[in-house]
Amino acid sequence: MKFVITAGPTREPLDPVRYLSNRSSGKMGYAIAAAARETGHEVILISGPVALTAPAGAEVVPVTTGEEMFATAAAHFARCDVFVMCAAVCDYKPARYAAQKMKKERGAFSLALEPARDILSSLTSSPHDCFVVGFAAETEELRRNAQRKLAEKKCDLLVANDVARTDIGMDSDDNELLIFFKSGAEKKLWREKKTELARTLLKIILDAREKCLTKKT
């Protein structure tokens, strides 16, 4: 089975030395990729800038910006069995790129931003056969926001985690997940190492995909 997994942050350049980004370490996405390889699946890992060792046997495609991630994901989306959008993509990007380093000046500074592409929505807006797994990193109203994203982004399954906590989630080796299914069912995965959570999550994804295929036939 072919998995396409996105992981890590994206960076949106402001000038030759500055960029907008986020705190995503990529650990969860890399752990899912490693778990898929452990069970013999083909894995294409589309990775933003991270300081992690590539999972053995995975094809890693490094990208930097959201548009680069979208272009790479779109090239593989139609030909995969499972698509896992675990990357933390910037929601906004600078409206204008400065070709030279912007000089520091006295007084207040205003930076114009524009919405960045919603990669998952862009991919799922067209007919597709792959099983789509989305991620939602939230600081409040986790259940409500995750359920909304599940529907809006047309996912088959959505994995949510609370990033307001400092002991799990971003930058941490541990995580705690709440999984939402299209049927309305939910499943809680309590705090554990991301490597172990990834193995459990992989089984849940494969089981949900099998049930989805059974319904279609």
* Non-local CB neighbours of 209 within 8 Å, separated by 6+ positions: 81, 82, 131, 156
Would you call 109 helix, strand, or coil by DSSP? coil
**For 65-200, where are the E strands, in sequence order?**
82-85, 92-94, 113-115, 131-138, 157-162, 174-181, 186-193
**22 assigned to active site:** yes
Distance of CA 170 to the CA centre of its chain: 12
- Alpha helix ranges (H) inside the chain: 27-38, 66-77, 119-124, 142-152, 194-216
* Non-local CB neighbours of 2 within 8 Å, separated by 6+ positions: 41, 42, 43, 44, 79, 80, 81, 82
Of 202, 149, 183, 186, whose CA–CA distance to 39 is shortest?
A: 202
Name the active-site residue from 22, 145, 161, 175: 22
C-alpha dist (Å) from residue 32 to 40, 62, 82, 184? 13, 17, 12, 24
The residues carrying an active-site annotation are: 22
